[in-house]
Amino acid sequence: MRRRSFLKQSAAGLLILPSGIASGRTSPNNKLNLALIGVGGRGMAHFDSVSGENIVALCDVNERNLAAAAKKFPGVKTYHDWRRCLEHEGLDGIVCATTDHTHAPIAIWAMRRGLHVYCEKPLAITVEEARSVRATFLEQQGKLATQVGTQLHGNENFRKVRELIREGVVGELKSVDVWGNREIPKPGYLPAAGEPPEFLHYDLWLGPAPAHPYNPGYFGDFDSAQVPGSNCLNWNMYWDFGAGQVGDMGSHTMDLAWNALDAALPTRISADGEPFHPDVTPVRLRTTFAIPANDWRKEIELRWHQGGAMPEPPTDTALRGIGHGSMYHGTKGTLVCDPGSHVFIPAGTPRDARLSRTGVRGKFSIQEEWIKACKDGGTTSCNFDYASRMIETMLLGLVAYRAGKPVSYDGTKGSTGDATTDALLRRSYREGWPLVG
Ligand SMILES: NC(=O)c1ccc[n+]([C@@H]2O[C@H](COP(=O)([O-])OP(=O)(O)OC[C@H]3O[C@@H](n4cnc5c(N)ncnc54)[C@H](O)[C@@H]3O)[C@@H](O)[C@H]2O)c1
């Protein structure tokens, strides 16, 4: 079946097919036809996990990175513009590892073309984007496999922490703190500095973002090797290109708590951070969310601390050495965790007590989980329903920060009830790059 006719029929609710069939896959040997979009930096981390599939298209705005990827996948059709790449005939899915400000548009455009999507974190940089990704995914529910690239989710410790909370190790759960210590201060958008190199399609790099003059500072040093996946630190603090640490390490670190809490969207949000800067997201920030009660716990307070803001430790040394962690406070004590280990600190433990964390071995690959789900229609751990709710919550912290006051939120309507604050839930898109296309 042609993909477009499938979409027409499914939109009309006339046809429901298992995911492998929905994708219109025709390749022999049960292999997926995949496009890799963003093939330098973090994109390279996915090469091995997809190399058993048919890689049929590569896309990058940097021709050098495209040429390097083409050596790994010789003879594959290449693109500079992801809008063209998504039209590649016979595609089943995409792996997206581009800049944060393109994630939601690429994910939405891809799903609307019936494509499975693996997308690097963060899934969105505005609340509207998170909601729009979720709405598009839910329209296709059961037909498309999606995954956000929060690969730590595969750690066995994630399952264990959830189990401990549900077993009541902390007693009645009251509040949760999650924190990250990464600090990347930026002075503001960079001034014009020369022309883009001939191998970089800078206008396509900007894509949906407002025009900004070219400056090599957004790209690091093109000529010297950098740690793959670290270039995002050159651009993700700018409002037009990312969501700062909320989207960066926040996506990974909040995931451990989100997995354990069965959380609905928050109803009240407040924020406290360094003074607002119109160009760059804050380094130091603390956001607080009222997370509604569910069938196994009462309402809880969830707090995110970043860039030097830290929660109160239960003992003097409990948080030492945990750059990115979470802790769960209940009537019986506190469970302190990092992505791979945890320790329970009973209430009343002396301040100077020293308890060591228990490391938890074992992990699964969320990339492999996604590929399997594309083929057999199964579920994925960080699908766009689960992950969009988490990033929507985190982004609401930035909305309260920008509003400069606590905000109420109606997650059903996606509104704070105040037009001025609601304007902070979204951004505008350059002509030709709509969020939903
Ligand atoms: N899951 C993780 O642990 C992890 C680690 C590092 C980075 N990341 C995420 O991966 C993404 C990329 O980060 P990075 O450091 O590799 O950044 P980067 O700037 O190096 O970009 C990655 C690649 O995408 C290309 N690209 C950028 N915009 C594009 C576009 N519009 N169309 C096609 N190609 C485009 C770049 O040229 C580059 O080859 C970010 O969203 C980041 O948050 C995730």
Task: Give the residue-averaged pLDDT of 22-44.
Answer: 82
Q: pLDDT confidence of 338, banded at 50, 70, 90?
A: very high
**Ligand 1 centroid, distance to 40 Cα (angstroms):** 7
Please state the atom number of ligand 1 nearest to the C-alpha of residue 218: 19
Same domain, 144 and 98: yes
Residues in the chain: 437
Is 136 a residue whose pLDDT tops 80? Answer: yes
Please state the atom number of ligand 1 nearest to the C-alpha of residue 204: 31
**Ligand 1 centroid, distance to 394 Cα (angstroms):** 21
Residue of 39, 42, 226 best suited for mutating to test ligand 1, as the one with most atoms within 8 Å of CB: 42
**Ligand 1 centroid, distance to 343 Cα (angstroms):** 34
Q: What is the 3-state secondary structure (H, E, C) of 360-417?
A: CCCECCHHHHHHHHHHHCCCCCCCHHHHHHHHHHHHHHHHHHHHCCCEECECCCCECC
Q: What beta strand segments (E) does 166-299 contain?
A: 173-180, 268-273, 285-291
**Ligand 1 centroid, distance to 219 Cα (angstroms):** 11
| Separation in Å, CA 255 to CA 86, 152, 293, 335 | 29, 9, 19, 16
Same domain, 28 and 158: no
**Ligand 1 centroid, distance to 100 Cα (angstroms):** 8
Q: Given 318, 342, 359, which residue is the final one in a domain?
A: 359
Same domain, 326 and 373: no
Cα distance between residue 131 and residue 123, in whole Å: 10
**Ligand 1 centroid, distance to 226 Cα (angstroms):** 13
> Does residue 400 form part of some domain?
no
Task: Give the residue-averaged pLDDT of 15-19.
Answer: 35
Domain membership of residue 321 as a residue range: 153-184+244-359
Question: Which protein residue has the closest C-alpha to ligand 1 atom 27?
Answer: 98
Cα distance between residue 391 and residue 65, in whole Å: 29
Same domain, 175 and 83: no
> Does residue 79 form part of some domain?
yes
Please state the atom number of ligand 1 nearest to the C-alpha of residue 38: 24
**For the chain, percent of residues with pLDDT exceeding 90:** 91
**For the chain, percent of residues with pLDDT exceeding 70:** 94
* pLDDT attached to residue 3: 39
Instruction: Give me the amino acid identity at 5.
Output: S
Question: Which protein residue has the closest C-alpha to ligand 1 atom 25?
Answer: 38
* pLDDT attached to residue 27: 65
CATH number for the domain spanning 17: value is: 3.40.50.720
Hey, which residues does 345 pair with through a beta bridge?
334
Cis peptide before 122 (omega within 30 of 0): yes
**116-119 sheet: strands from edge to edge:** 77-79, 54-59, 33-37, 93-96, 116-119, 146-148
Contact (Cβ atoms closer than 8 angstroms) between residue 358 and residue 342: yes
**Ligand 1 centroid, distance to 360 Cα (angstroms):** 30
Task: Give the residue-averaged pLDDT of 114-141.
Answer: 97
Least-confidence region, from 2-16, 95-109, 258-272 = 2-16
From the number of C-beta atoms within 10 Å of its C-beta (0-12, 13-18, 19+), residue 375 rates as: buried
**173-180 sheet: strands from edge to edge:** 358-359, 341-346, 333-338, 324-330, 173-180, 300-306, 285-291, 268-273, 407-408
What is the SS3 assignment for 6? helix
Is 17 a residue whose pLDDT tops 80? Answer: no
Contact (Cβ atoms closer than 8 angstroms) between residue 327 and residue 315: no
Question: Which protein residue has the closest C-alpha to ligand 1 atom 11?
Answer: 97
Same domain, 130 and 177: no
Of 435, 397, 403, the residue nearest 417 (C-alpha): 403
Phi first, then psi: what are they for 272, rounded to 5°?
Answer: -150, 120
Q: What is the chain's mean pLDDT, rounded?
A: 93
Is 6 a residue whose pLDDT tops 60? Answer: no
* pLDDT attached to residue 156: 98
Question: Which protein residue has the closest C-alpha to ligand 1 atom 28?
Answer: 98
Instruction: Give residue-wise pLDDT tens across range 138-157.
Output: 998 789 999 999 999 999 99
Is 12 a residue whose pLDDT tops 50? Answer: no
Q: How many CB atoms lie within 10 A of CB 72?
A: 15
**Ligand 1 centroid, distance to 323 Cα (angstroms):** 23
Instruction: Give me the amino acid identity at 181.
Output: N
* pLDDT attached to residue 406: 98
Same domain, 40 and 117: yes
Same domain, 171 and 86: no
Instruction: Give me the amino acid identity at 405.
Output: K
Cα distance between residue 285 and residue 384, in whole Å: 26
Same domain, 127 and 100: yes
Is 432 a residue whose pLDDT tops 60? Answer: yes
Instruction: Give residue-wise pLDDT tens across range 171-200.
Output: 999 999 999 999 999 999 999 999 999 999
Question: Which protein residue has the closest C-alpha to ligand 1 atom 14?
Answer: 229
* pLDDT attached to residue 28: 62
> Does residue 111 form part of some domain?
yes
> Does residue 399 form part of some domain?
no
Contact (Cβ atoms closer than 8 angstroms) between residue 255 and residue 150: yes
Least-confidence region, from 24-38, 70-84, 168-182, 316-330 = 24-38
Please state the atom number of ligand 1 nearest to the C-alpha of residue 39: 39
Query: Alpha helix (H) ranges present in 175-265?
Result: 202-206, 232-235, 244-247, 249-261
Query: Which residues have C-beta atoms less than 6 Å from ligand 1?
Result: 37-43, 59-62, 65, 82, 97-100, 102, 120-121, 149, 151, 204-205, 207, 229-232, 248
Residue of 88, 96, 120, 253 best suited for mutating to test ligand 1, as the one with most atoms within 8 Å of CB: 120
Hey, which residues does 200 pair with through a beta bridge?
62
Same domain, 301 and 176: yes
> Does residue 9 form part of some domain?
yes
Same domain, 94 and 59: yes
Number of domain units in the chain:
2
Question: Which protein residue has the closest C-alpha to ligand 1 atom 39?
Answer: 40
Question: Which protein residue has the closest C-alpha to ligand 1 atom 6?
Answer: 229
Please state the atom number of ligand 1 nearest to the C-alpha of residue 65: 39
Question: Which protein residue has the closest C-alpha to ligand 1 atom 31?
Answer: 205
Cα distance between residue 95 and residue 47, in whole Å: 10
* pLDDT attached to residue 400: 98
Is 314 a residue whose pLDDT tops 70? Answer: yes
Q: pLDDT confidence of 225, banded at 50, 70, 90?
A: confident
**Ligand 1 centroid, distance to 135 Cα (angstroms):** 25
* pLDDT attached to residue 7: 36
Cα distance between residue 96 and residue 232, in whole Å: 14
CB-side exposure of 417: number of CA atoms within 13 Å? 9
Q: pLDDT confidence of 251, banded at 50, 70, 90?
A: very high
Is 16 a residue whose pLDDT tops 60? Answer: no
Instruction: Give residue-wise pLDDT tens across range 36-95.
Output: 999 999 999 999 999 999 999 999 999 999 999 999 999 999 999 999 999 999 999 999
**Ligand 1 centroid, distance to 203 Cα (angstroms):** 16
